[in-house]
Amino acid sequence: MRKKSLVYSLFFQVGILLLLFVLQFILPTYHHSSVSKIMVLASYAVAYNFLLGYTGLMSLGHAMFFASGMYAAGLGIYYLELSALGGLLFGAGFTLVISLIFGLFALRTSGVSFLIVTLMFGQTFYLSILYFNEFTFGQDGFSLAKYLGKLVIFNREYLYSNPDIRYNFAFILLTAYLLISTFIMFSPVGRILIAIRENESRTELLGYNVFYYKLFALVLSGTFSGIAGATHALLFTYIGSTFAEIHHSISPILWTLLGGAGTVIGPFIGTGIMFYLVDFISGITSNYQLVVGVVLILMIIWFPMGIMGTLRQKWMKWLP
Contact positions toward another protein, by CB under 8 A?
A: 28-30, 33-34, 37, 127, 130-131, 133-134, 137-145, 159, 161, 236-238, 240-243, 248, 279, 282-283, 286, 288-289
Decide whether 36 or 175 has the Cβ nearer to another protein: 36
Q: Min. distance of Cβ 68 from another protein in angstroms?
A: 17
Q: Min. distance of Cβ 289 from another protein in angstroms?
A: 7
Decide whether 165 or 195 has the Cβ nearer to another protein: 165
Q: Work out the number of other CB atoms within 10 angstroms of the CB of residue 132.
A: 11
157-192: burial string, b at 16+ Cβ within 10 Å, e else: eeebbeeebbbebbbebbbebbebbbebbbeebbeb
Q: Min. distance of Cβ 174 from another protein in angstroms?
A: 18
Given a contact cutoff of 8 angstroms between Cβ atoms, the answer to whether 146 and 18 are in contact is: no
Given a contact cutoff of 8 angstroms between Cβ atoms, the answer to whether 66 and 222 are in contact is: no
Given a contact cutoff of 8 angstroms between Cβ atoms, the answer to whether 257 and 273 are in contact is: no
Alpha helices in 237-287 (DSSP H): 246-259, 266-282
Decide whether 242 or 313 has the Cβ nearer to another protein: 242
Decide whether 54 or 78 has the Cβ nearer to another protein: 78
Q: Min. distance of Cβ 201 from another protein in angstroms?
A: 39
Q: Min. distance of Cβ 284 from another protein in angstroms?
A: 11
Q: Min. distance of Cβ 197 from another protein in angstroms?
A: 30
Q: Min. distance of Cβ 282 from another protein in angstroms?
A: 5
Q: How many residues does the chain have?
A: 320
**E strands of the chain, at which residues?**
142-143, 151-153, 156-158, 238-239
Tell me the angle at which helices 210-236 and 63-79 cross, rounded to the nearest 10 degrees: 50
Decide whether 130 or 297 has the Cβ nearer to another protein: 130
Decide whether 160 or 186 has the Cβ nearer to another protein: 160
Q: Give, in order, the Cα–Cα distances in Å from 168 to each of 37, 137, 318.
A: 11, 30, 29
Q: Min. distance of Cβ 142 from another protein in angstroms?
A: 7
Decide whether 113 or 139 has the Cβ nearer to another protein: 139
d(CA 39, CA 319): 20
d(CA 11, CA 21): 15
Fill in the amino acid letter for 280. F
CA angle 138, 287, 308 (to 5 degrees): 85
Decide whether 146 or 314 has the Cβ nearer to another protein: 146
d(CA 264, CA 266): 6
